[in-house]
Chain A
Amino acid sequence: DIQMTQSPSSLPASLGDRVTITCRASQDIGNYLRWFQQKPGKSPRLMIYGATNLAAGVPSRFSGSRSGSDYSLTINSLESEDMAIYYCLQHNEYPLTFGSGTKLEIK
């Protein structure tokens, strides 16, 4: 199975900060990488697909990038509504595997 190593597990940040979350894939997954945002008691929300593409309705302060086997989610100018847990997901091959999650919280 492909392992997705996500870091950090917790990310304290201030409003207006620029933050980056990273997932490293244990095998080649191409650009079959998605990022999700999950708020308490809610279903996951797709934020980024194809590693770099913004999903519909997602603010432009969110962006995705790839460097080799490292995939990153960056949020520019953090807003209070961005406080949530973020997960990556590889869907290059089965079984699909998620990263362990990053909890973004106010410092």
Chain B
Amino acid sequence: QVQLKESGPGLVQPSQTLSLTCTVSGFSLTSYNVHWVRQPPGKGLEWMGRMRYNGDTSYNSALKSRLSISRDTSKNQVFLKMNSLQTDDTGTYYCTRDANAWGQGASVTVSS
């Protein structure tokens, strides 16, 4: 059974760095792509970036300067790090396997 689960701090201070982990099961990170998608409260979906099955990454150009996606295949985990957080980075962050299977989402609030 394919599962993805996001984890990380629910509250981040402005200007600090967000670190999220996506732990997957039921498939191999060396066979499938994992994407990060976020959604501000009451707004639409925004694609952030992707970890390809072969380790390559792609990023949304609007976030590229602040965003890094990495992985640990031995732990079945994909990581998202985004620095210089501001209040408009508040929202729910999802990881998804090729937009087929989705995690439950991690709620992140940027506030002092």
The interface residues of chain B lying within 8 Å CB-to-CB of A49 are 100
The residues in B between 43 and 97 inclusive whose CB is less than 8 angstroms from any CB of A are 44-47, 50, 58-61, 94, 96
Given known pairs A43-B94, A44-B45, A87-B45, the reply for A95 and B100 (CB within 8 Å) is no
B-side interface size class:
10 to 19
The interface residues of chain B lying within 8 Å CB-to-CB of A43 are 94, 102-105
The interface residues of chain A lying within 8 Å CB-to-CB of B103 are 43
The interface residues of chain A lying within 8 Å CB-to-CB of B59 are 95
Interface-located stretch among A21-29, A62-70, A97-105: A97-105
Which A residues have a C-beta under 8 Å from some C-beta of B? 1, 34, 36, 38, 43-46, 49, 55, 87, 89, 91, 94-101
The interface residues of chain B lying within 8 Å CB-to-CB of A101 are 44-45
Distance of B68 from chain A, by nearest CB (Å):
16
Distance of A4 from chain B, by nearest CB (Å):
10
Of listed B45, B50, B61, B104, residue having the most chain A CB within 10 A: B45
Given contacts A44-B45, A49-B100, 12 further A-B contacts (CB under 8 A): A1-B61, A36-B45, A36-B99, A43-B103, A43-B105, A46-B100, A87-B44, A87-B45, A95-B58, A95-B59, A97-B47, A101-B44
- Closest-by-CB residue of B relative to A95 is B60
List the 4 closest pairs (A to B, CB-CB), nearest first. A43-B102, A96-B47, A98-B45, A94-B58
